[in-house]
């Protein structure tokens, strides 16, 4: 699992699952997502115990268009939204395994929370940041390649991509493993 593999947390990682009532409304803006988080989030970072909030919403992103959809977004420094309805739609419309979509999206967004690519301007390999798609990696096979958050990327994909060696070295330099 990516967290155990890459995060330096010898004390272990705990998952707390909460099911919330489905909020009203259709597509969500990120500010609506933040409102829901403010109301529903139960775990916060205390000292060395880092808490991450992951919201699997029934909805899709308000910025979606007929040609471009958002599968997930990392925001603040410990928050992720996964647009579960969008993942389900993409999965059924182009016959991609839902598990591959979910895992890739979640791991990619965690990559952003880990500071990839060059989010704080502190990457040791700053030259692999994609100048046309900032905060993403130029290496096409890498989990942090910008297209790994797009629908077309998943056509004919049968496995979850990994971080490439540059992203791993950057992560290790930031305290990961």
Cis amide prior to 68 (ω within 30 degrees): no
Angle at 163 between CA 10 and CA 7, to 5 degrees: 10
For position 164 contacting Zn ion by CB under 5 A, the verdict is: yes
Q: Identify whether the C-beta of residue 86 lies closer than 8 Å to the C-beta of residue 70.
A: yes
Between the CA of residue 108 and those of 25, 53, 104, 137, 159, what are the distances in Å? 27, 15, 6, 11, 14
Site string for Zn ion, 6-45 (x = CB under 5 A): ----------------------------------------
Cβ distance to Zn ion smaller for residue 60 or 104 = 104
Q: Identify whether the C-beta of residue 81 lies closer than 8 Å to the C-beta of residue 133.
A: no
For position 170 contacting Zn ion by CB under 5 A, the verdict is: no
Residues 67-96 that bind Zn ion (CB under 5 A): none
Binding residues with Zn ion: total (CB under 5 A): 7
Which is it for the CA torsion 124, 130, 131, 135, positive or negative? negative
For position 139 contacting Zn ion by CB under 5 A, the verdict is: yes
- The CB-of-119 to Zn ion minimum distance in angstroms stands at 10
Stretch that binds Zn ion, among 75-83, 89-97, 139-147, 150-158 (CB under 5 A): 139-147
For position 167 contacting Zn ion by CB under 5 A, the verdict is: yes
Binding site for Zn ion (CB under 5 A): 137, 139, 142, 144, 149, 164, 167
């Amino acid at each position: 699992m990516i967290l155990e593999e890459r995060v330096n947390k010898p004390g272990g990682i705990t998952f707390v699952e909460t099911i919330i009532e489905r909020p009203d409304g259709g597509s969500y803006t990120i500010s609506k997502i933040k409102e829901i988080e403010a109301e529903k989030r139960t775990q916060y970072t205390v000292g060395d115990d880092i808490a991450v909030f992951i919201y699997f919403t029934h909805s899709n992103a308000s910025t979606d268009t007929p040609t471009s959809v958002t599968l997930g977004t990392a925001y603040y420094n410990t928050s992720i939204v996964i647009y579960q309805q969008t993942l389900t739609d993409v999965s059924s419309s182009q016959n991609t395994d839902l598990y591959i979509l979910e895992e890739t999206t979640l791991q990619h967004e965690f990559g952003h929370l880990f500071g990839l690519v060059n989010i704080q301007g502190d990457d040791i390999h700053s030259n692999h940041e994609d100048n046309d798609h900032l905060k993403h990696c130029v290496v096409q096979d890498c989990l942090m390649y910008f297209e790994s958050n797009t629908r077309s990327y998943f056509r004919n994909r049968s496995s979850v991509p990994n971080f490439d060696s540059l992203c791993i070295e950057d992560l290790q330099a930031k305290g990961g493993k």
